[in-house]
Amino acid sequence: MNFQIREHLDEFNVLPETQSGFRPGYSCTTALLTVTDDIITAIDRGKSSLLLLLDYSKAFDTLNHDLLISILHFVGFSKDAVKLMTSYLLGRMQYVSTDKGDSSRQTVSCGVPQGSTLGPLLFSIYTCYLPQCLKNCRVHLYADDTQLYFSFFPENKDNALTLINSDINNLLSYSNSHNLKINSKKSSILLFGKDKDNIQASIDIMVGNDKLQCVSSARNLGLIIDNNFRFNSHISKCVQKAYANLKMLYPHRHLLSQLLKIRLTDALVLSNFNYCDVIYNPCLEINTSDRIQKVQKSCLRFIYGIRKYDKVSHKLKDANWLNMKSRRILHSVVLFHNIISYRRPPYLAKKITFRTDVHNLNLRFRGKISPPPHRTSMFRRSYSYNIYYLYNQLPDYLKMLEPKTFKYSFKKYLINTQ
């Protein structure tokens, strides 16, 4: 059912392009990449940006069955398919089981089955027309996680707030009609731009009767974003978790082989820095990058029994590891290669312009990405700049590889050049 529904949705472009939840080629990373890229591009042009992180209360549990069935019919499900989905949704019961017995059974009158394959997909269909209610703000969705953002010149902040509040009211009307409730206490605002300190005091955005709080950093799809795009808070959390996991391994160091130590530290310690490293890699300050590298050095000391102040960098090749900066570059370029190869997700593929797209006779630069125009050094933290900067440095033979073999070959290339 999941496979057939997805085929239908893709064929008729039912889901909005900016819905990244549970779709092949889409991810939290790609969703955050496009949002951060748009905001950094706006800052480069002298604008400020407001990012609204909206949270829906128990969204998957409040979905209206009758409305969902009507939407399925509207998006092209046949009568038999609608009957099948009606049978799947309706007539479910729930109860609580304890050692002393079971509670009485109650009918589940709304929501989709939690943990099911179809649950997130049905919710995405249920909210597929949400972007159409917004007239001014840009929106990006990941299942029920909703991000609205709006860029403006500082002198136009009053008009910008009016337009944003207008869209919030439209979104509230849409949400209420779909039995969804925005939780204002878990929603927040991030303000970006040079004049953010002067503008912040005048920010007045309401969700119903509640005013949204403007914060300096917030968790967005698992990544802690700050309004300076330095990600210091996120890295601090990752370092804390990494050292905590390494500390748990230390008492057992005499019982583990070197190979097992390498695998455990890679899986339990260094993996803490994998999530969304494509986004924060170009934004890190030198001291923050050094903090991450020190974690890897601690892992090497643990694996090979090296004393605290002795050099360990020469052990990277023995462990078949890249240093942490090269590791982040590997993850970035692999993602970029997939985007270029599959042209997915479209919202990131559209941001890439090859030089041959501009001038077909420019044979010298065939396969090169055109440098995006920019004004400030801030732009170097963006996806648009980094895909140009990193991908153009690749040898031509690597660019020709299929995505399935590209990662292994590129890692080998980085190990030989680091």
- For the segment 221-258, what is each residue's pLDDT rounded down to a tens digit? 999 999 999 999 999 999 999 999 999 999 999 999 99
Q: In this predicted model, which residue has the larger pLDDT, 324 or 115?
A: 324
- Domain spans in the chain, listed from the N-terminal domain onward: 1-95+105-226, 232-321, 327-417
Percent with pLDDT over 90 in the chain: 90
Gyration radius (Cα) of the chain, Å: 24
Distance CA 400, CA 137 (A): 39
> What is the pLDDT at residue 358?
56
Residue 386: band (very low, low, confident or very high) from pLDDT cuts 50, 70, 90:
very high
User: Is pLDDT at 297 greater than 60 in this prediction?
Assistant: yes
- For the segment 46-92, what is each residue's pLDDT rounded down to a tens digit? 999 999 999 999 999 999 999 999 999 999 999 999 999 999 999 99
DSSP code, position 373 = P
Chain center to CA of 57: 20
> What is the pLDDT at residue 355?
80
- For the segment 13-51, what is each residue's pLDDT rounded down to a tens digit? 999 999 999 899 999 999 999 999 999 999 999 999 999
CA atoms within 13 A on the CB side of 328: 19
Structural contact between residues 36 and 229, judged by C-beta atoms closer than 8 angstroms? yes
Distance CA 381, CA 379 (A): 5
Q: What is this structure's pTM?
A: 0.94
Neighbour-count burial for 336-365, b at 16+ CB within 10 Å, e otherwise = bbbbbeeebbebbeebbeebeeeeeeeeee
Q: Which residue reads 């070959």 in tokens?
A: 409
- For the segment 310-368, what is each residue's pLDDT rounded down to a tens digit? 999 999 999 999 999 999 999 999 999 999 999 999 999 999 998 876 555 454 555 78
> What is the pLDDT at residue 357?
63
Q: Which helix (H) or strand (E) is 335 found in, with range? A: helix 324-342
> What is the pLDDT at residue 359?
55
Lowest pLDDT segment from 50-59, 205-214, 363-372, 382-391: 363-372
For the segment 356-383, the average pLDDT, to the nearest whole number, is 78
- Tell me the CA distances in angstroms from 153 to 47, 231, 237, 295, 380, one per residue in order: 5, 25, 34, 41, 21
> What is the pLDDT at residue 195?
86
pLDDT, mean over the chain = 94
> What is the pLDDT at residue 265?
98
**Sequential DSSP letters for 127-181:** TTTGGGG-SSSEEEEETTEEEEEEEE-GGGHHHHHHHHHHHHHHHHHHHHHTT--
The tokens of 400 are what?
């020709």
Residues 6+ apart with CB under 8 A from 404: none
For the segment 92-99, the average pLDDT, to the nearest whole number, is 92
User: Is pLDDT at 281 greater than 70 in this prediction?
Assistant: yes
The tokens of 62 are what?
């409040």
